[in-house]
Amino acid sequence: MSRRTLIEYAQYHFEEHPFRSAVTFVHADGSELPHNYFTFFHEAADYAAALEGAGITAGDLVVLVMEQSVSVMAAFWGALLIGALPSIFPFINEKLDAEHYYSSIRQLIGFESVRAVITFAKFEPDLRATLAGLPVEIITTETLKAVGDPAVYFARPAPDPEATAFLQHSSGSTGLQKGVMLSHRAVINQIQEYEEAVDVMSDWNVIASWLPLYHDMGLIAAFILPFKVGVHLVIMSPFEWVRQPVMLLQAITRHHATHVWLPNFAYNFMATRIRDAALTGVNLAELRWVINCSEPVYAESHRVFLKKFAPYGLKESALRVCYAMAENTFAVTQTARKTLPRIDVIDRRRFAEDKIAAPAENDAPYMEIVSCGVPLPNTQVRVIGVEGTVLPDRHVGEIELLSDCMLTGYYQRADLNPFHDGWFMTGDMGYLADGELYVTGRKKDLIIVAGKNVYPQDIENLLNAVPGVHPGRVVAFGVPNAQLGTEDIAVLVEAETDTLLDDDEQRGDIVREVRARIAANTEVTARYVEVLPPRQLIKTSSGKIARSANRDRFLEGLEA
């Protein structure tokens, strides 16, 4: 029987093998909270009942402001069960400025006409104060009653496959996030192809993950996919993992995990930060797919990861690459089964000057580009030049895609049209060669730090009112850090007067304020903050700060 909505897959797992492991939440101390489909969907039904009790119906938007937990997953399914549209928001942490965090939540919730927020009791007072005056119901996990019966919801007619199933928020350059609308059809089409591409169909596969669920890689690969396929998911908090990264490897060992998705920085982070002494008993021999996704892939990151963990059973053949985005539900390309990711060695000069990825010859300066693999069978990929024409192999241009798993649109943002003749414009630059896709950068100046997308404009806008900084004379950009396998953020600001620079304390106050504002208002921290004398930033002929020229000069300074 063909199932066309997520609800029908949930019903299948609940009815056919209710006592199979669905999701296990693990903590750093080794304690675990296991759920099978029976217990999981009962908890989901409790959320469904609470939402209906609060007057929420099909089509209403429900936002989840909850830390990583089985509860947030159950709340997500609870909303799905009644046809409401769930969306998981990042939750506050101790670095973020609470006022800024809550005001951006209020802005988005008001803008999108969110009908309900589900949260934990500890966040409730702040959320209630934040959302005062908006017609939003607030539901807390702690007040849920165990009254939900999954059978009641499964007995209802399945939703229209074309109906939006949920929203995945992705960052936009204007600060306000964009809600990517995904239909049941798109999500099912994506997973049908992807589960085969990564060979995760058999029920003995196990997925392990620390990825946050508000990000597409965590949401699709490490939450929706295992629930659609019916494989066991072993999940943990990103905050616990970052403090104790070995806990992921211990969970993989204990649960015989076969699949894990990681952003590139995590390879370097785990290779350099996990002590050998902590690896006693770790066995990675059953891990068949370690998939590098969501930020630029460095060949060197795979090498250091393999060198560190091969003695613990990690196989080189497990290391693969995926190129994905929320707008295609998730994967666009994936390293093919039974192959290693290709590494293309191209001529650095021809790439920079001619936008051509020519294989490097002899002693020419070269660069390594790791292949992101082949497009999924349902996804076509093309590369477009500046004139809008389709480019041949090895010519660098903007990547566009066409598939049956694309977004319907951005929620309540009819002003945004990301399509070009029906193709989705990714904003990523790259080239095709022998059927494989190589991603080389971004059309716009997006910075990707440890898998998080940051627009330089958002950082620059924070810094215009820093005392001592000339308003408008600030620039932010990314600086590759091969040792960390990700980008660092550099910020250059011009002082209002030369004399501010003569005094270490006064210059220090500017640096301090710049760093603190970035830390409080974004998910990242700046590595480099430099205060320049007045009129030192390079400007374009039209008088705007030239981001790439300032970046190039900064990079030359670093190399010198």
Partner 1 sequence: MREAIREYIKVNMIHDKKYPLKDDEDLFKGGLVDSFSLTELAVFIEDKFSIHFADPELTVANMRTLDHIIRNLEAKQAK
How many Cα atoms are found within 13 Å in the side-chain-facing hemisphere of 111? 15
Report the Cα 453 to chain-centroid distance in Å.
Answer: 8
Torsion of CA 483, 309, 448, 182, to 10 degrees: 170
Tokens encoding 113? 């006409």
> Are the C-beta atoms of residues 227 and 191 closer than 8 Å to each other?
no
Position 556 contacts partner 1 (CB under 8 A): no
Q: Which is nearer to partner 1, 349 or 515 (CB)?
A: 515
Amino acid at 142: E
Position 527 contacts partner 1 (CB under 8 A): yes
For the beta carbon of residue 477, count every other beta carbon within 10 angstroms.
23
Interface stretch with partner 1, choices 63-71, 147-155, 175-183, 519-527 (CB under 8 A): 519-527
Residue span 55-94 as binding mask against partner 1, x where in contact by CB under 8 A, dash where not: ---------------------------------------x
The binder of partner 1 chosen from 504, 556, 559, 560 (CB under 8 A): 504
Position 419 contacts partner 1 (CB under 8 A): no
Nearest distance, CB of residue 507 and partner 1, angstroms: 7
Which residue is listed with tokens 């939006």? Answer: 164
The binder of partner 1 chosen from 44, 56, 62, 246 (CB under 8 A): 246
Cα 521-527-528 angle, rounded to 5 deg:
105
Q: Which of residues 471-500 bind partner 1 (CB under 8 A)?
A: 484
What is the 3-state secondary structure of 219-263?
A: HHHHHHHHHHHCCEEEECCHHHHHHCCHHHHHHHHHHCCCEEEEC
* DSSP letters for 475-523: EEEEEEETTTTEEEEEEEEEESSTHHHH-HHHHHHHHHHHHHHHHHHSS
Position 281 contacts partner 1 (CB under 8 A): no
For the beta carbon of residue 363, count every other beta carbon within 10 angstroms.
6
3-state secondary structure of 126: helix
Position 381 contacts partner 1 (CB under 8 A): no
Tokens encoding 147? 């009254």
Q: Which of residues 424-453 bind partner 1 (CB under 8 A)?
A: 450
- Beta strands 374-375 and 331-334 are antiparallel
Instruction: In whole angstroms, give the CA distance from residue 186 to residue 178.
Output: 18
The binder of partner 1 chosen from 360, 433, 529, 537 (CB under 8 A): 529
Instruction: In whole angstroms, give the CA distance from residue 430 to residue 395.
Output: 8
Interface stretch with partner 1, choices 82-90, 142-150, 243-251, 439-447 (CB under 8 A): 243-251
Nearest distance, CB of residue 244 and partner 1, angstroms: 4
Interface stretch with partner 1, choices 35-43, 78-86, 340-348, 502-510 (CB under 8 A): 502-510
The binder of partner 1 chosen from 4, 256, 303, 507 (CB under 8 A): 507
The binder of partner 1 chosen from 30, 33, 57, 95 (CB under 8 A): 95
Q: Which is nearer to partner 1, 237 or 335 (CB)?
A: 237
Position 367 contacts partner 1 (CB under 8 A): no
Instruction: In whole angstroms, give the CA distance from residue 70 to residue 213.
Output: 11
Nearest distance, CB of residue 93 and partner 1, angstroms: 9
Position 520 contacts partner 1 (CB under 8 A): yes
Position 554 contacts partner 1 (CB under 8 A): no
3-state secondary structure of 131: coil
Q: Which is nearer to partner 1, 241 or 410 (CB)?
A: 241
Nearest distance, CB of residue 103 and partner 1, angstroms: 18
Total of residues contacting partner 1 (CB under 8 A): 35
Position 555 contacts partner 1 (CB under 8 A): no
The binder of partner 1 chosen from 123, 227, 265, 312 (CB under 8 A): 265
Q: Footprint of partner 1 on this chain (CB under 8 A)?
A: 28-29, 94-95, 239, 242-246, 265, 269, 273, 278, 450, 484, 504-505, 507-508, 511-512, 514-520, 524-529
